[in-house]
Amino acid sequence: MQILWKILDASLATFLLAAPWILLGLIAAGVLHVAIARERVERWMGGRGMGSVVRAALFGVPLPVCSCGVVPLSIALRKQGASRPASMSFLITTPESGPDSILLTWGLLGPVMALVRPVASFLTAVTAGALAILFPGRADAGVPVLPAGACCADPCCGADHDAPATPTLRTRARRAAQFSFVTLLDDIAFWLVIGVLLTGVIAATFPPDLAVWGLGGGLLPMLLILVAAVPMYICASASTPVAAALVAKGISPGAALVFLLAGPATNAASVLVLTRNFGRAFIRSYLLGISIGAVGSGLLLDALLVRFGLDIVSRLPASASEELGVLHVSTGLALAALIGWRFSRGALRESLRELRDQFLMAGTGHAHEHASTVEPADPGAAARPAPADATPAIEIHDLWLSREGRPILEGINLTVRRESFLGIIGPNGGGKTMLLKVILGLERADRGTVRVLGRSPDEAQGSVAYVPQFSGFDPSFPIRVIDVTLMGRLGRGRLLRPFRRADRERARQSLERLDVGHLAGRQIGTLSGGQLQRVLIARALTMESRLLLLDEPVASLDQQIGGQLYELLAELSSSMTVVLVDHDIGVLSRYVKSVACLNRRLHYHESGRVSREMLEETYGHPVGVVSHDHPAPPRDRQRR
């Protein structure tokens, strides 16, 4: 009985101490929620590579969303074009820190820890994002399915953004308050109570000095905490007093940091939903990144504290009877009243239901399907991953692109079916190379949608073979023809795996097919222009892709060899899609199945015939009236 009293006493003390910080944090979160527009999220999260990972991680730091709320949010963002690595780092920093938890950390563990927490969270997210870039796994089937279990707040996709575009200050304030004290509080109230009680249990029952047991510092307590924290569901705010209690019991601040990072970031249920939507390789990077990041940050923090002679002390009082001041008592009463109000309005029931659902999901390994609160699930989305040949090889809709104020491509619509052979002709400077680079994901369009093999250009990289017009490489590079050809076998998922005999065999076959097999051992700079061009085409063929793009492949070849090359490409187009660009029509039209003319605008005849008017349009009047433009059938615009 006495122990129960001690637990309640310590819990109450924790609650009172934390109350002003929680209230302040809730208000800050509400203000932030109103200030951040959804479009900004999209702009920040777009793109590929480390830049988007860093941006997404930074963006997630101030966002006040918990670990179950971030899952549907990140999936919605991914649907809008965020890359997987960017989604990953967003998934980590968002639940790990927010204004509420940072302020609470300040209150319970001091300013140093309040600073360390978001920084460590950022480092963890960048680590995981880098892992996701390095080990992307197999190319996945496109767009993820919005999961069930979309449980809690969603500050960016909430319904209130349907409100009028320019709200008054008053409506903004009301929205902020609504978010702070209804939406967000509903999410965290139950878990906060659990966290406070857990703190009480630790404070009252754990032996006073865990350091005696060898748990004071070093790797062992961190690993123990990691194992406990990864499957545990606890929100960032609720994890803070628990960490403070651990520090009070003599656990090193670094080990407490591990708890602060790994506890909120993951839980068993969210891991399951993410596996389903992002794939196994993603989850491996995610868990590995969190583990490495959390333990690494913990070790680093402990080392730095020793180096600079600092210490982090828990400010948790042992008992509520200690002096806490009028501020803590009044805010504590206010917070208790707010929580009581939300519980009476069903927040408690809702949290318990979620908890049960998550246990069920964790138990069966299946997310149950219920209508998501974020947006209605697209019934077709699940089935879309698509039979290979149903989707066109290239689908471009209303593409616009300009560079330095100069328009390069204007309103391009183009659909290239599978196994076709398309020639695109146009004058130099007409945007031919740029169009290919957009398809390859090397250049980004200002506007419009591009789908390549049913995926976005970024995601299709590795499945599209390319023969550039001018190669940027240095002819004196010490490399043999066979090594260059083997580069066609590189790609995602091949990292750290050496080339096999089959790869070499494939590269040799491609060289033979282009009559340059005898040059395999030569250094690349000793080839003639025509030989080099054929080696580059062999490199592209070695990729065994379903789509081959060539930029003026015959420009450096004599006519006879050029003709042979066209014949080969025509032959290839029975099993793959071939698109080539050339600056004049020449012999091209004898071999290709259809021709498009490009000079900023695209003139395209499904029949494949080139009419006199088309040529006049293309070469005569750069911005003339479009008479033979056959746009793709109008579809819903997906962006903007």
Partner 1 sequence: MLEPLEFAFFQRALLAGLLASVACGIVGSYVVVKRMASMSGGISHAAFGGVGLGYLLGIDPMIGATGFALACSAGIGLAYRRLRSGMDTLIAMVWAVGMALGILFVSLSPGYAPDLMSYLFGSILFVPARYVGFAAGLDLLIVLTVVLLFKEFQAVAFDEEHAEVSGLPVGLLLLALLALVSLAVVVLIRVVGVILVIALLTMPPAIARHWSRTLPQMMALSSVLGAVCAVAGLYGSYWLSELADLNVPTGPLIILLAALLYGASVAARTVVGRRDG
Nearer to partner 1, 486 or 568 (CB): 486
Tell me the helix, strand and coil percentages in the chain, rounded to 5: 55, 10, 35
The 44-73 site mask, x for binding partner 1 (CB under 8 A), equals -----xxx----------------------
- Nearest approach, Cβ of residue 450 and partner 1 (Å): 15
* Choices 88-96, 110-118, 463-471, 510-518 (CB under 8 A): range interacting with partner 1: 463-471
Q: In angstroms, rounded to a whole number, what is the distance separating the alpha carbons of residues 509 and 489?
A: 13
- Figure out which of the listed residues 327, 495, 555, 623 binds partner 1, where binding follows CB under 8 A: 495
Nearer to partner 1, 491 or 586 (CB): 491
* Choices 20-28, 100-108, 369-377, 491-499 (CB under 8 A): range interacting with partner 1: 491-499
Q: Which residues contact 214 (CB under 8 A, 6 or more apart)?
A: 220
Closest CA to 434 of 450, 423, 418, 445: 445
Nearer to partner 1, 312 or 548 (CB): 548
Nearer to partner 1, 155 or 431 (CB): 431
Helix pair angle (236-248, 2-35), 10° resolution? 140
Nearer to partner 1, 466 or 566 (CB): 466
- Nearest approach, Cβ of residue 556 and partner 1 (Å): 17
Asked if residue 487 binds partner 1 (CB under 8 A), the reply is yes
Closest CA to 465 of 391, 537, 556: 537
Interaction residues for partner 1, span 86-125 (CB under 8 A) = none
Q: What is the DSSP string of 408-446?
A: EEEEEEEEE-TT-EEEEE--TTSSHHHHHHHHHTSS--S
Asked if residue 137 binds partner 1 (CB under 8 A), the reply is no
- Nearest approach, Cβ of residue 518 and partner 1 (Å): 14
The residues that bridge with 594 in the sheet, in sequence order, are 422
Nearer to partner 1, 186 or 459 (CB): 459
The residues that bridge with 517 in the sheet, in sequence order, are none
Encoded tokens for 324? 């806490």
Asked if residue 464 binds partner 1 (CB under 8 A), the reply is yes
Residue 128, classified by CB atoms within 10 Å of its CB into exposed (0-12), middle (13-18) or buried (19+), is buried
Asked if residue 483 binds partner 1 (CB under 8 A), the reply is yes
* Choices 221-229, 409-417, 464-472, 584-592 (CB under 8 A): range interacting with partner 1: 464-472
579 close to 548: Cβ distance less than 8 angstroms: yes
User: How many Cα atoms occupy the beta-carbon half-sphere of 345 within 13 Å?
Assistant: 13
Interaction residues for partner 1, span 443-462 (CB under 8 A) = 461-462
Encoded tokens for 284? 């491996």
Asked if residue 474 binds partner 1 (CB under 8 A), the reply is yes
- Figure out which of the listed residues 506, 539, 600, 603 binds partner 1, where binding follows CB under 8 A: 539
Asked if residue 288 binds partner 1 (CB under 8 A), the reply is no
Asked if residue 471 binds partner 1 (CB under 8 A), the reply is yes
The 498-517 site mask, x for binding partner 1 (CB under 8 A), equals xx------------------
Closest CA to 601 of 579, 632, 623, 616: 623
Residue 256, classified by CB atoms within 10 Å of its CB into exposed (0-12), middle (13-18) or buried (19+), is buried
- Nearest approach, Cβ of residue 301 and partner 1 (Å): 17
Q: In angstroms, rounded to a whole number, what is the distance separating the alpha carbons of residues 69 and 157?
A: 11
- Figure out which of the listed residues 390, 496, 502, 625 binds partner 1, where binding follows CB under 8 A: 496
- Nearest approach, Cβ of residue 84 and partner 1 (Å): 12
Can you tell me which residue has the tokens 């009293």? Answer: 5
Asked if residue 479 binds partner 1 (CB under 8 A), the reply is yes
With CB under 8 A as the rule, give the number of residues binding partner 1.
43
Asked if residue 488 binds partner 1 (CB under 8 A), the reply is yes
Furthest C-alpha separation in the chain: 98
Asked if residue 130 binds partner 1 (CB under 8 A), the reply is yes
> Measuring CA to CA, how many Å separate 105 from each of 6, 19, 27, 193, 535?
24, 12, 16, 17, 61
- Nearest approach, Cβ of residue 579 and partner 1 (Å): 14
* Choices 132-140, 234-242, 290-298, 325-333 (CB under 8 A): range interacting with partner 1: 132-140
Cβ count within 10 A of residue 16:
24
Asked if residue 473 binds partner 1 (CB under 8 A), the reply is yes
Q: In angstroms, rounded to a whole number, what is the distance separating the alpha carbons of residues 509 and 605?
A: 36
Q: In angstroms, rounded to a whole number, what is the distance separating the alpha carbons of residues 452 and 324?
A: 63
- Figure out which of the listed residues 5, 213, 359, 477 binds partner 1, where binding follows CB under 8 A: 477
164 close to 46: Cβ distance less than 8 angstroms: no
- Nearest approach, Cβ of residue 140 and partner 1 (Å): 13
The residues that bridge with 455 in the sheet, in sequence order, are 452
Nearer to partner 1, 363 or 472 (CB): 472
Residue 572, classified by CB atoms within 10 Å of its CB into exposed (0-12), middle (13-18) or buried (19+), is middle
Encoded tokens for 567? 């014949």
Alpha helices in 514-558, H assignment, sequence order: 529-542
- Figure out which of the listed residues 418, 492, 504, 605 binds partner 1, where binding follows CB under 8 A: 492
- Figure out which of the listed residues 440, 453, 595, 598 binds partner 1, where binding follows CB under 8 A: 440
Closest CA to 123 of 173, 176, 58: 58
Q: In angstroms, rounded to a whole number, what is the distance separating the alpha carbons of residues 98 and 236?
A: 8
Q: Are strands 406-416 and 394-403 parallel, antiparallel or unpaired?
A: antiparallel
- Nearest approach, Cβ of residue 142 and partner 1 (Å): 15
Say which amino acid occupies 223: L
* Choices 94-102, 119-127, 251-259, 435-443 (CB under 8 A): range interacting with partner 1: 435-443
Asked if residue 484 binds partner 1 (CB under 8 A), the reply is yes
237 close to 101: Cβ distance less than 8 angstroms: yes
- Figure out which of the listed residues 16, 133, 202, 243 binds partner 1, where binding follows CB under 8 A: 133
Asked if residue 490 binds partner 1 (CB under 8 A), the reply is yes
* Choices 92-100, 389-397, 469-477, 604-612 (CB under 8 A): range interacting with partner 1: 469-477
The 300-339 site mask, x for binding partner 1 (CB under 8 A), equals ----------------------------------------
98 close to 63: Cβ distance less than 8 angstroms: yes
91 close to 121: Cβ distance less than 8 angstroms: no
Nearer to partner 1, 170 or 307 (CB): 307
- Nearest approach, Cβ of residue 420 and partner 1 (Å): 21
What does the radius of gyration of the chain's CA atoms come to, in whole angstroms? 30
* Choices 36-44, 475-483, 618-626, 629-637 (CB under 8 A): range interacting with partner 1: 475-483
Residues that bind partner 1 (CB under 8 A): 49-51, 130, 133-134, 136, 440-442, 461-466, 468, 471-474, 476-480, 483-484, 486-488, 490-492, 495-496, 498-499, 522-523, 526, 539, 543
